[in-house]
């Protein structure tokens, strides 16, 4: 157990490895010195506690990075500022899915309709599916923040969720009245 603790602490102590020492890159490759080490670019971005140790959402929103949205100028950003509450979360807090943070990076077609139907509630999935790399787990746990961060998704208590739903219903009713 002591050894495990030491290994864990060692892993957490240094944020980014040099490419030549990362266990993946071949240190005998003469071209290796031309590649950028992660520390150089990641250490100047907003920090996070997991993943690349970079808060990618904040980095984009702050303008710390300015990633291109297209190569061939065919795809334009289609930002959707719409939260979806996923109520069936067992005993865990309810999930708030923010379309905004996702559409700032992704195209609608990355998730719809093959991973998730557009109609809220039409796609049934469980945490086990996600842990096996399906649905949200296609990215979370692989490239976006890992599945150890329960509270980032399971973030809304039931009372708050009920209040938001009532507000949404009222807003929808008002909008329908106007039409």
Partner 1 sequence: MRLQRVARFLILCLIVMSSGIAWQANAEYADVVLNQKSEKEGVRPVIFPHWFHRIRFKCKVCHAELGFKMRVGSNHISMENITAGEFCGACHNGDVAWSADECDLCHSGKPGLKTGIRGGHETMGPGIW
User: Which region among 70-78, 88-96, 157-165, 167-175 touches partner 1 (by CB under 8 A)?
Assistant: 70-78
- Taking the complex as a whole, how short is the minimal distance between the CB of residue 106 and partner 1, in angstroms? 5
Q: Cα–Cα distances in Å, from 54 out to 18, 29, 123?
A: 17, 28, 31
Q: By CB under 8 A, tell whether 109 contacts partner 1.
A: yes
Considering only 46, 58, 61, 65, the residue that binds partner 1 (CB under 8 A) is 65
Q: Torsion angle of alpha carbons 144, 92, 134, 76, nearest 10°?
A: -50
Bond from prior residue into 84 cis (ω within 30 degrees of 0): no
Compute φ and ψ for 11, nearest 5 degrees.
-65, -35
Closer to partner 1 at the Cβ: 51 or 98?
51
Using CB under 8 A, pick the residue from 32, 85, 89, 127 that binds partner 1: 32
Residue 122 burial class via C-beta count within 10 angstroms: exposed 0-12, middle 13-18, buried 19 and up: exposed
> Which chain residues interact with partner 1 by CB under 8 A?
4, 7-8, 10-12, 16-17, 19, 21-26, 29-32, 34-36, 38, 41-42, 50-54, 56, 65, 67-72, 74-75, 77, 104-107, 109-110, 131-133, 137-139, 141-143, 146-148
């Amino acid at each position: 157990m002591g050894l495990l603790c030491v290994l864990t602490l060692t892993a957490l102590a240094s944020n980014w490895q040099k490419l030549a020492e990362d266990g993946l890159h071949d240190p005998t490759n003469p071209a290796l010195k031309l590649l950028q080490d992660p520390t150089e670019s990641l250490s100047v971005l907003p920090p996070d506690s997991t993943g690349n140790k970079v808060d990618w959402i904040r980095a984009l929103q702050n303008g710390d990075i300015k990633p291109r949205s297209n190569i061939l100028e065919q795809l334009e950003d289609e930002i959707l500022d719409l939260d979806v509450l996923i109520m069936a979360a067992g005993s865990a807090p309810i999930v708030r899915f923010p379309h905004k943070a996702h559409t700032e990076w992704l195209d609608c077609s990355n998730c719809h309709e093959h991973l998730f139907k557009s109609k809220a509630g039409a796609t049934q999935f469980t945490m086990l599916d996600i842990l096996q790399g399906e649905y949200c787990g296609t990215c979370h746990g692989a490239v976006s923040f890992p599945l150890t961060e329960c509270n980032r998704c399971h973030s809304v208590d039931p009372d708050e969720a009920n209040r938001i739903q009532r507000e949404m219903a009222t807003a929808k009713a008002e909008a329908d009245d106007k039409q």
